[in-house]
């Protein structure tokens, strides 16, 4: 195909978009609906994932040190490095006996006299500890075992049960989300393919004539491909606008919540700025691929003349 033919056929495809208005509208309507449902499922999965990740990150693992051990600053720094060297550990903060005592003093100022009883350090009943943030929650067991094996560690407190519930919920929702998006993608391809097939069927005579005057299959396909991609891109823009506008409204509404839900959703709901650059390109790419492939596969049968 030379440049002149390419230009002509591309123009022809765009012209067909306008000329076959009803079919274009039907295609855009169907594909937009499919993309909106897919987008809603994707956003739901992304947000549940974010919520569970947030809840998981709130879990701290406390590594208690031997009260009899009076480590120097260098030894404590070494232990800190050893903890951070364990794969899956995101961070560690050291709290000395005194830090813990001061923390409690802050909580219960009215019992200041009682806390004074624990001065000096020899009387302090609290244990120095590391507060460890674990990134790889799925491997919490293994990480705890490695923490326990470190020198001067007497106990490791991790909310293992709760963490595993979060991890399980996250896995189930992520898998369910992927399955839902995959099923919806297949449904979209089938539905859009059938809609385009109707459009192609209505123009089978035209295709037949093109074959008789010596048009190659590629020459016949190109305008249909352009038309299909056009339908896909129009649908993507429309679906993107609908989904993102509705999502922005939901984000705004969740921002106005107070109390427990306000705290929870405020920290975990993804802002529009974190999702639009995933949703829009995915819609544009998905729409163009589904539209283009749908039209090219629908036309195949009519090319055997």
CB-nearer residue toward other proteins: 52 or 231: 231
CB of 37 to other proteins, least distance (A): 34
235 near 32, Cβ under 8 Å?
Answer: yes
Phi, psi of 215 (to 5 degrees): -75, 140
Please tell me whether residue 256 binds other proteins under the rule CB under 8 A: no
Phi, psi of 154 (to 5 degrees): -105, -25
Q: Which residues pair with 130 in a beta bridge?
A: 63, 94
CB burial readout 34-67, b (16+ within 10 A) else e: bbbbbbbbbbebbbbbbbbeebbbebebbbbbee
Residue from the set 77, 187, 198, 305 that interacts with other proteins by CB under 8 A = 305
Cα–Cα distance, 169 to 41 (Å, whole number): 16
Please tell me whether residue 273 binds other proteins under the rule CB under 8 A: no
Cα–Cα distance, 235 to 173 (Å, whole number): 27
CB of 28 to other proteins, least distance (A): 20
Please give the size of the binding site for other proteins, defined by CB under 8 A: 20
Please tell me whether residue 202 binds other proteins under the rule CB under 8 A: no
CB of 202 to other proteins, least distance (A): 11
DSSP strand pairing (129-134 vs 61-65): antiparallel
Q: Which of residues 208-247 bind other proteins (CB under 8 A)?
A: 208-217, 219
CB-nearer residue toward other proteins: 179 or 202: 202
CB of 15 to other proteins, least distance (A): 9
Please tell me whether residue 1 binds other proteins under the rule CB under 8 A: yes
Cα–Cα distance, 70 to 66 (Å, whole number): 8
CB of 21 to other proteins, least distance (A): 12
CB of 6 to other proteins, least distance (A): 10
Please tell me whether residue 206 binds other proteins under the rule CB under 8 A: yes
Q: Which of residues 6-45 bind other proteins (CB under 8 A)?
A: 8, 19
63 near 153, Cβ under 8 Å?
Answer: yes
Q: Which residues bind other proteins (CB under 8 A)?
A: 1-2, 4-5, 8, 19, 205-206, 208-217, 219, 305
């Amino acid at each position: 195909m030379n440049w002149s033919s390419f230009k002509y056929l591309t123009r022809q495809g765009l012209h067909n978009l306008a000329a076959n208005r009803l079919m274009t509208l039907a295609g855009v309507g169907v594909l937009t609906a499919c993309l909106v449902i897919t987008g809603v499922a994707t956003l739901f999965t992304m947000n549940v994932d974010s919520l569970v990740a947030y809840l998981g990150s709130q879990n701290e693992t406390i590594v208690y040190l031997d009260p009899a051990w009076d480590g120097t600053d260098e030894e404590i720094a070494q232990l800190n490095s050893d903890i951070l060297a364990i794969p899956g550990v995101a961070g560690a903060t050291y709290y000395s006996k005194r830090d813990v005592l001061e923390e409690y003093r802050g909580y219960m100022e009215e019992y200041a006299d009682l806390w004074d009883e624990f001065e000096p350090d020899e009387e302090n009943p609290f244990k120095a500890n590391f507060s460890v943030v674990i990134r790889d929650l799925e491997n919490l067991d293994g990480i705890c075992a490695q923490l326990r094996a470190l020198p001067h560690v007497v106990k490791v407190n991790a909310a293992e049960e709760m963490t595993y519930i979060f991890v399980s919920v996250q896995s189930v929702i992520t898998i369910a989300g992927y399955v839902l998006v995959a099923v919806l993608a297949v449904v979209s391809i089938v539905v859009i393919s059938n809609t385009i097939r109707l459009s192609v069927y209505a123009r089978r005579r035209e295709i037949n004539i093109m074959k008789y005057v010596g048009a190659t299959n590629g020459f016949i396909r190109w305008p249909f491909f352009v038309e299909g991609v056009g339908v896909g891109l129009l649908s993507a823009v429309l679906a993107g606008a609908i989904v993102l506008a509705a999502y922005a409204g939901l984000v705004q509404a969740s921002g106005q919540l107070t109390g427990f839900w306000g705290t929870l959703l405020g920290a975990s709901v993804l802002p529009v700025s974190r999702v639009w650059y995933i949703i829009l390109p995915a819609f544009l790419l998905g729409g163009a691929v589904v539209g283009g492939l749908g039209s090219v596969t629908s036309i195949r049968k009519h090319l055997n003349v």
